[in-house]
């Protein structure tokens, strides 16, 4: 038998240990319940809705393969960068190739009017009728990026990625060539066209879209359009150049 004072001390120590363990036990840990991961279809719907509500956006387009932006197939598009403002204003700088020569060409479209810079002088003038490509189709409620996202088939979610410094959902799907035809001035052909989309996990902004032609004997160098979107909703002014 332990002396009384030692038994009292050990009982007190044991009681204190129980209190400490109780304070640190699982019952006291506040663990947040993780939110369910949205389905691929839900992500597409959120991104499409978000884009439809965006009044302005900056874009950068890189083009691989042959894409001509004039009816005579003499101006080969290499890339473009500019700003779009709803409902019908766009300012773009094209990088193109004419007869093997790389050139830079600016375009402003407001409503039904378009102006371009002269290849030789750099001066602004009315865009020629044969210059048919209109970048504002990207924002079109009928044929733009948003409607394309609503017409994809069998969408698959791939591994998350970092895009432009943001954590994004990466989705992949396919569409018929008719769906992306207006978006690419009917330069992407063959079905199905592979569509890759990168969607910001926090804002649900579409940060990147990539359209890829299927390989084929008639397409030894399949076209790939990569469109990066940024500065969503930021104020931008687009006025006539002359």
Domains belonging to the chain, first-starting first, are 40-230 (2.50.20.20)
Whole-prediction pTM value? 0.79
pLDDT score for 16: 44
Q: How far is the first Cα of the chain from the last one, in angstroms, to the nearest whole number?
A: 106
Please give the pLDDT value at position 190: 87
Residue 182, pLDDT score: 83
Contact yes or no for 180/23 (Cβ under 8 A): no
Say what the pLDDT of residue 94 is: 85
Q: pLDDT tens digits for the chain (242 residues)?
A: 445 444 443 344 344 443 333 334 454 544 555 556 788 888 988 998 898 889 999 999 999 887 777 767 777 888 999 999 988 899 999 888 888 888 888 999 998 888 999 878 889 998 876 665 677 777 777 778 888 887 887 899 999 999 999 999 999 999 888 888 888 878 888 889 999 999 999 999 999 999 999 988 877 788 899 999 999 999 999 999 97
pLDDT of the residue at 215: 86
Instruction: Give me the residues paired with residue 131 across strands.
Output: 70
Contact predicate 117/106, CB 8 Å: yes
- Give the pLDDT confidence score for residue 129 in this predicted structure: 65
């Amino acid at each position: 038998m332990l002396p009384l004072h030692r038994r009292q001390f050990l009982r007190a120590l044991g009681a204190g240990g129980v209190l400490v363990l109780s304070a640190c036990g699982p019952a006291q840990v506040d663990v947040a319940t993780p939110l369910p991961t949205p389905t691929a279809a839900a992500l597409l719907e959120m991104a499409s809705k978000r884009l439809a509500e965006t009044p302005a956006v900056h874009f950068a387009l890189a083009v691989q393969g042959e894409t001509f932006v004039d009816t005579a197939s003499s101006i080969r598009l290499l890339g473009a960068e500019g700003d779009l403002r709803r409902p019908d204003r766009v300012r773009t700088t094209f990088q193109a190739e004419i007869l093997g020569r790389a050139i830079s060409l600016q375009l402003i479209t407001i409503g039904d009017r378009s102006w371009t810079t002269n290849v030789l002088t750099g001066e602004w003038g009315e865009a020629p009728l044969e210059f048919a490509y209109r970048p504002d189709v990207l924002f079109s409620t009928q044929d733009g990026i948003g409607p394309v996202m609503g017409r994809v088939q069998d969408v698959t979610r791939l591994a998350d990625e970092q895009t432009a410094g943001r954590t994004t959902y990466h989705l992949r799907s396919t569409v018929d060539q008719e769906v992306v035809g207006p978006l690419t001035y009917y330069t992407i052909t063959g079905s199905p066209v592979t569509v890759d989309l990168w969607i910001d996990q926090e804002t649900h902004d579409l940060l990147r879209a990539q359209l890829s032609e299927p390989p084929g004997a008639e397409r030894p160098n399949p076209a790939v359009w990569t469109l990066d979107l940024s500065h969503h909703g930021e104020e931008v002014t687009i006025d006539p150049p002359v």
